[in-house]
């Protein structure tokens, strides 16, 4: 199996320095956008937990790999621990999905308000920002689906390892399928991260065009539409390949 430590780029939040008079469309949009960021905080917390659980599962797999069939009882016990780990990860990413759904619902509410903007440049920037974010939500749904499939394949793997009559050929074949699925997860993760970085940039452009005075956190977001983040992700992918688990003896 592959070393599956995901690298997610988060949304960055901005603080409005001066409120618009009344309930101007730009202020309404700002409130919804920043609320969407707040609702995704649990997503990031779940991701931290998932990364830790993935590392624990990798440790279990290494122990199993180093054992022989003479230690079948130990293998069976370790496989049981891995199955518990997988179930916990599934719960985590399901909770993560709920926070993303809440974020999407909040963000979607800006659609009608964008049409109320009087400035054409701000309206155009807002529509572009909206489209990017909705594409990001779609990318997340695909990523979640692909990761869930990987968990099901991991589950099958450890159930196979609990069988004393397991044949090496069947094990090798299944691990090959699992690794292929991991590659799909990595690809979808890259797309999600690129869209997150792109949205962060588009949001800043929209605030500028709409005259929303905000305070920026220099450590948050990325103005390069993910170029630097892509390099970091590519580097991590190389590390993942270096740590690829043996599929046979």
So what's the pLDDT on residue 129?
A: 97
In this prediction, residue 41 carries a pLDDT of 86
Judge whether residue 249 has pLDDT over 70: no
Confidence band for 230, pLDDT divided at 50, 70 and 90:
very low
Q: Are 105 and 134 in contact (CB under 8 A)?
A: no
Q: Which helix (H) or strand (E) holds 215?
A: strand 214-215
Question: What is the average pLDDT across 197-222?
Answer: 81
Question: In angstroms, rounded to a whole number, what is the distance separating the alpha carbons of residues 3 and 69?
Answer: 24
Please check whether residue 158 lies inside any domain of the structure. yes
Give a yes or no: residue 189 inside a domain.
yes
- % of the chain beyond a pLDDT of 70: 77
The confidence score (pLDDT) of residue 215 equals 76
Residue 199: predicted pLDDT: 96
Q: Is residue 127 part of a domain?
A: yes
CA atoms within 13 A on the CB side of 104: 17
Number of domains in the chain: 1
pLDDT the model gives residue 171: 93
Look up the CATH number of the domain holding residue 84: 1.20.120.570
Mean pLDDT across the stretch 161-186? Answer: 93
Query: Does the pLDDT value for residue 6 go beyond 80?
Result: no
Question: What is the spatial distance between Cα 127 and Cα 133, in angstroms, rounded to a whole number?
Answer: 10
pLDDT of residue 10: 55
Residue 196 lies in a domain: yes
**Domain membership flag for residue 88:** yes
User: How high does pLDDT run on average in the chain?
Assistant: 82
Q: How far apart are CA 132 and CA 199, in angstroms?
A: 6
Q: What is the mean pLDDT of residues 105-123?
A: 94
φ and ψ of 68, to 5 deg? -105, 170
The verdict on residue 248 lying in a domain is no
Is the pLDDT assigned to residue 208 strictly greater than 60?
yes
Q: Give me the pLDDT at residue 234, please.
A: 44
- pTM greater than 0.85 (yes/no): no
Lowest mean pLDDT among 84-93, 134-143, 209-218: 209-218
Residue-wise pLDDT tens digits, 43-96: 888 888 999 999 999 999 999 999 988 899 999 999 999 999 999 999 999 999
Burial pattern 181-211, b for ≥16 Cβ within 10 A else e, equals bbebbbebbbbbbbbbbbbbbbbbbbbebbe
For position 46, what pLDDT does the model report? 85
Average pLDDT over residues 5-17: 47
Is 237 inside any structural domain?
A: no
Please indicate, yes or no, if residue 14 is contained in any of the structural domains.
no
Range of the domain at 129: 23-211+223-229
Give me the mean pLDDT over the 29-40 stretch.
Answer: 93
């Amino acid at each position: 199996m592959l070393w599956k430590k995901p690298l997610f780029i988060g949304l960055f939040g901005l603080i409005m320095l001066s409120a618009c008079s009344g309930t101007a469309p730009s202020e309404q949009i700002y409130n919804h956008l920043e609320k969407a960021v707040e609702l995704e905080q649990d997503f990031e917390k779940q991701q931290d937990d998932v990364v830790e659980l993935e590392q624990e599962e990798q440790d279990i797999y290494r122990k199993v790999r180093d054992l022989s069939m003479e230690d079948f009882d130990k293998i069976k016990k370790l496989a049981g621990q891995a199955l518990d780990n997988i179930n916990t990860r599934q719960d985590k990413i399901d909770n993560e999905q709920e926070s993303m759904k809440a974020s999407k619902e909040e963000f979607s509410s800006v659609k009608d308000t964008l049409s109320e903007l009087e400035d054409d440049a701000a309206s155009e920037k807002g529509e572009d920002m909206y489209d990017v974010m909705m594409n990001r939500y779609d990318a997340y749904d695909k990523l979640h689906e692909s990761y869930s499939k990987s968990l099901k394949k991991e589950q099958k793997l450890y159930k196979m390892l609990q069988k004393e009559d397991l044949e090496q050929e069947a094990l090798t074949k299944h691990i090959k399928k699992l690794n292929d699925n991991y590659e799909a997860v990595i690809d979808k993760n890259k797309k999600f991260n690129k869209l997150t970085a792109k949205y962060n940039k588009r949001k800043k452009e929209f605030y500028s065009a709409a005259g929303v005075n905000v305070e920026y956190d220099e450590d948050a977001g990325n103005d390069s539409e993910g170029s630097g983040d892509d390099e970091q992700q590519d580097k991590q992918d190389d590390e993942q390949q270096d740590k690829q688990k043996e599929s046979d003896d």
